[in-house]
Structures are given as C-alpha cells and as structure tokens.
Amino acid sequence: MKTVKKVLLFLRDVIELYIPMVSFCLLFLAFVLQVVSRYVFNHPFTWTNDVIVLGFCWSVILGACYTMRKKGHVQFTMLYDIYKPKVAALLRLLGNVIIIATFICLVIPSVKFSIFQNFQKTAVLRISLTWVFLPFAYFLCSVIGYSIEPCVEDVKVLMGIIPDAQEHKIDADMKAAANAGEETK
Amino acid sequence: MSLGLVVTLVVFVLIFILKMPIAIGMLSASACYLLITGADLSLVVNQVMNTFYTNYVIIAVPLFIFTANVMNSGKVTEMVFKFCNGVCKNLQGALGQVNILGSLIFSGMTGSAIADAAGLGKIEIQAMKDQGYDDGFSCAVTAASATIGPIFPPSIPLVIYAMLSSTSVGALFMGGMIPAILLTIALMIYVGIVSKKRRYPKGEPISRHDFKVFVINAIPALLTPVVLLVGIYTGIMTPTEAGAVAGLYALLISIFAYHAMGWKELIEVIKQTIKDIGATSIMIGASTVISYIVAREGLASSLGAWILSITTSKYQFLLLVNLVILLLGMFIDTSTIQLVFVPIMIPVARALGIDMIHFGLVVTFNMMVGLSTPPFGMLLFITSGISGTPLKKIMKEIMWPIVVMLIVLVLITYIPEIVLFLPKAAGLI
C-alpha cells in the first residue's frame, strides 16, 4: 500500500511539477532559438512556434495544479480571517462544495471536447490539439482532489473534533503577529 | 437580467465571502451559468485553452515572471542597491532615495511590483532600519516605490492589458516611461521633504575607487533594460520574444557575471516560476469565460449605454473609472480588477474616444496604487512580512506616498500627452 502511494505521489509530481518545468524550459529555449535563427542564421525555424504554444499550455494548466497544491492561487481572505473558527469552516466548506460540484460537471464535457479536437493539428509538427486541450481535464480533477482535503478538515471543525482549521489558525496568528510587530516568518 | 446571470453574480460574490480561489471560483461561476442556461459545458475548456493556444502576447507573462525570479535569486538586487547607494550618497535621506531609484532601475528588468518589494525591498528596508529610519517609513517608501515596477517597461500588467484591448505592447511600454519617471521624481521629492523634517542622514561616504567598483559590477544588471528596449524598438524581437531574451540575459549575468546561480538555484527558480504562472495565467483563462458571459448577456453594452446616458464627457468617465478602481483596489487583488472589471470599461472608453494606450496606463497606474492602499494592499503585507514591521505603522506612513501617487495619477489622467508623447514621437501610434 505504501509503495502504491509513493508511486502515485511521484506520478502526481511528474504531472504537476516536472512536466510543467520541462515544458517551460522548452518554451524558453524555443523562443531563444527563434530569435537566434531569425537574426543570426537568417533562417527562421517554423517549428518553434508549435513548441512554444504547446509548452505554454502545458506549463500553465499543469502548473496551476501545482499552484493549487501549494495554495498559491489568489484568494480574498479579509472576511475569512475575521470569522470565528466554526463559521470559517462552514463557509469554506460551502465554497469547496460549489467548486467540487461544478468541476465534476465540467470533467466529461472537457474530455469529450479534447478528444473531439483530435482532427485539428498544430501547423508544423502536426501534433493533435487533443494534447493541447486534454491537460485541462486533469486540471479539473486535480482541483476537485485538492478541494476534498479542506472539506474533511472543515467537517471535523464543525463536529468539534478539532478546534480550528489549520489555514484559518495560521492566517489569524499571522495577522495577530503582524499587528503586534512580531517576526512573522 | 437572466436567471443564469443572477446565479453567476451570486457565485461571484460568494467567491469573496467563502474564500474560494478567485480564478477557480470564476470557473465555477461560469459553469453555473452554462448549466442554468443549458449551454454547452465544453465552452469552458474551449475558451480557456483557446486563449492560451491562440494568444501569443500573453506568453510574455511567464517569461517576465521568470526574469523577475532570476533577478531576485541572484546578486542582481545587491548590485543595483550598491550602485544606487553610490549615486544618492549626497542626498538628504539617501537610503530613501536609493530605495526609489533602485526601484526604477529594477523595474526596467522585471516589470513586477511584488518582485521589487520582495527582492530589492528586503535589502533596502534592512539598510534603512540600520541607519535609524522609522520602520513604518522604510516599508511605506519600499511599497510606494515598488509601484513604479509595472509602469516602467517591461510590465506584466501592461502585457495583459495589451491582450485585453488589442493594443500594441511596444506602444504601451513606451507610454509608461514618462509616468514612471514622473512618479520617481515625485516620490524622491516626498522622501527629501520628510528626510529634512525628520533629519534622516545623508549616505555614508564612498571612495571614488569603491564607487567605480560598484558601477562596474552593476553594469551587467543595468544593461538589462537597454537590451530589452533596444531589442523591442529596433524590431529585432517582439515584446514576447524580449521576455525570453531578458530571461536568458538575467540567467547569463547571474551565472557568469555574478556567480550567484547554480543548478540547485535554477531549479528552485523554475519551480517558483511554475507556481507563479499557474496563479496568474489561470486567472487570465478564467476571465475569458466570464468575458464571454458578459458579452453574451450584453452586460458590457448595457453598462456602457448607462454610463453614456450619465455622461458623454471622457474626463468625467476617467474620473469615474479612477474612483471605481481606487475603491476596488482597496479590497481586491489587481489581477482580478484587471481581468474582470477592466474589460467591461474598455468598450466604453473606446466609444468615448479615449486613446487605448492612455487608458491602459491610467488603469494600470491606478491598480498599482491599489497595491499600497489599506486595508488590502498586497505590498503592505509583503513589506510587513519581510521586515517584521507592524501593519499599523506602515498604514500610518503610507498615506502621504499614496497622496503623491494620486497627484501623479491625476496628471497622467488629464494630460494624456504625458503618456502619449513618446509613443507618438516614435511613430507607434
């Protein structure tokens, strides 16, 4: 069981971190090559455009999953921070339920649409556009997955098993520390 | 107003009440709309991915984010700081002036206010504290000067605006130069006045030899904006390609000139970049779905007609826009303002005959002021976090820099030539 979990976690890293990192590097190098080929060799490459666009789509969408894991998406926390622990838990739970429900509805249409795009290819490398659109379906599943964990935590807070959600506690502590002038790091 | 739109708006409000990640919440709101109106749900994937697939300009965003992260991880910030220290040593409140001048130079490399405050700001605040400057003042000046970042080219928000309004990135970049310099001068005057009043010290004397060393060490870093701007305006590269070239240049100087980056650091920088672009770009994608709904429901045109029924004066409209963005900026993140509210304003501005380059600079400048306005000014939190200074102290000191920024905002709003002079002179508009 432990090995399976390890393999799955590694796979998650591959999809959400290593592939976006490699995609970004490829996009970056393709851009540099594009400029060099045009102005140094006077012979512009055409395939670089395909690599750039594909690299961009993959690094952005799969990177957004990593951002979700690291809780790096922009959030409006002013109100959440001032709620009492149980109110905060209830409201965050409601938010996550909305996300999970709507994203579940989006998964199948997104997969179908991505597969449908198979008839279209990129201009030079002739890569199927399914590969451009399909990561979005993974992104939806990933967001659903990352939204479940806080739901469980919030249910525990509401049932009185734990006093406060970790994120709410940290936010409240940081706010107090900032106001008191303590080291917040 | 259709039921679908009402539910979408309700979910949109809930994003802020329920602490949903804004981009994810926007996608949820869009899905609700499509479900209620019975539209095809695959529209979400179609809109989001097509935006990424077909919009070449926004690829510049991750590239500039990467450049900013490279600059902050190497010794570049330190070199810029030492150079500015040498330049401003004879001025009253020298370190305050260094803070502002440093931001102007750094802004020519990264185009991100957050990168400026978190990178250069850390060194600046510490140095100012060590010389007896008030903590709140040090943080407030750092936050205000970081605002210059996205005004002076290159600029991530201006690239996004170019995508939203279909305007030239090159013209926008050039339009930002004079406002950024104007803001620099205004903030330096403010720091000079406060320093005289509070008797903040002049800089420590630096020998001619040391200054020469600082200048020589800083040259590779100082050349970044030159490489970028010359590349763009001579037509050698597009602004998007310039993002990649700036990133490559930043990498090369960090590795070879400053010996400050190895494989380990590079991997960390790429990891951080992925995290940052994930947050920024998905917001752009989600906003396109919202824009589709706004267009389908005719919301923008209704709003436009309503505004035009109140006023047909572009100056009154600009005043209204400024007030709305200032108010929103106090509570909402700049990317949300730019990607949700600005697209609604653009058609009205166009109908009133406002130049899109001018409008872009006005809204971008205003949004950057919002980064420093309490209670939800991102730069206030960052400077507080990196320095351990109480927010209250920073909020007290930030008021006057905000007034200074607002004065410059009024100037660029009502004297469009401040923005348009350079792009016109260069034949870009």
Tens of pLDDT along B52-84?
Answer: 998 888 898 899 889 888 888 777 888 888 888
| Minimum distance, in Å, between the CA of residue A185 and any CA atom of chain B | 7
**pLDDT (0 to 100) of residue B291:** 85
Do A52 and A84 share a structural domain?
no
- How far is A75 from A90, CA to CA, in rounded Å? 17
Do A159 and A108 share a structural domain?
yes
Helix (H, G, I), strand (E, B) or coil at A128: strand
* For testing contact with chain B, the best of A71, A102, A133 (most B CBs within 10 A): A102
Do A99 and A127 share a structural domain?
yes
Cβ-in-10-Å burial (0-12, 13-18, 19+) of A5 comes to exposed
The ipTM value here is 0.92
Do A143 and A185 share a structural domain?
yes
Inter-chain touch B20–A57, beta carbons under 8 Å: no
CB contact A119 to B (< 8 Å): no
Q: How many CB pairs under 8 A join A and B?
A: 213
CB contact A144 to B (< 8 Å): no
Q: Which of A50, A71, A92 is the last residue of a domain?
A: A71
Q: Which of A71, A94, A109 is the last residue of a domain?
A: A71
Q: Is the pLDDT of residue A176 over 70?
A: no
Do A126 and A48 share a structural domain?
no
Nearest-CB residue to B335 (from A39, A74, A79):
A74
Helix (H, G, I), strand (E, B) or coil at A185: coil
Chain A, residues 120-139, CB within 8 A of chain B, namely 129, 132-133, 136-137, 139
> Which chain B residues touch A129 with a CB distance below 8 Å?
53
What amino acid occupies position B328? L
pTM attached to this predicted model: 0.86
Q: Which of A49, A71, A93 is the last residue of a domain?
A: A71
| Minimum distance, in Å, between the CA of residue A60 and any CA atom of chain B | 5
Domain around A118: 75-185
* For testing contact with chain A, the best of B125, B282, B337 (most A CBs within 10 A): B282
Inter-chain touch B66–A73, beta carbons under 8 Å: no
**pLDDT (0 to 100) of residue A175:** 65
Q: Kindly indicate the confidence band of residue A44, based on its pLDDT and cuts at 50, 70 and 90.
A: confident
A123-137 pLDDT, tens digit each: 899 999 999 999 999
Cβ-in-10-Å burial (0-12, 13-18, 19+) of A25 comes to middle
Q: Is the dihedral of CA B354, B356, B358, B363 positive or negative?
A: positive
| Minimum distance, in Å, between the CA of residue A5 and any CA atom of chain B | 23
Nearest-CB residue to B41 (from A67, A109, A179):
A109
Is the bond into B416 cis (omega within 30 degrees of 0)?
no
Inter-chain touch A31–B63, beta carbons under 8 Å: yes
Q: What are phi and psi of A40, to 5 degrees?
A: -95, -50
Tell me the average pLDDT of chain A.
Answer: 90
Do A94 and A21 share a structural domain?
no
Q: Kindly indicate the confidence band of residue A33, based on its pLDDT and cuts at 50, 70 and 90.
A: very high
Inter-chain touch A92–B389, beta carbons under 8 Å: no
Is the bond into B154 cis (omega within 30 degrees of 0)?
yes
**pLDDT (0 to 100) of residue B82:** 86
> Which chain A residues touch B275 with a CB distance below 8 Å?
63, 66-67, 70, 72
**pLDDT (0 to 100) of residue A183:** 42
- pLDDT block averages, 10 residues each, chain B of length 429: 87 89 93 94 95 88 89 80 86 90 86 81 87 92 93 92 92 95 96 93 83 88 84 84 89 88 92 90 89 85 83 91 92 84 90 95 95 87 85 91 97 97 90
> Which chain A residues touch B267 with a CB distance below 8 Å?
21
Give me the number of domains chain A comprises. Answer: 2
Inter-chain touch A68–B278, beta carbons under 8 Å: yes
Do A53 and A86 share a structural domain?
no
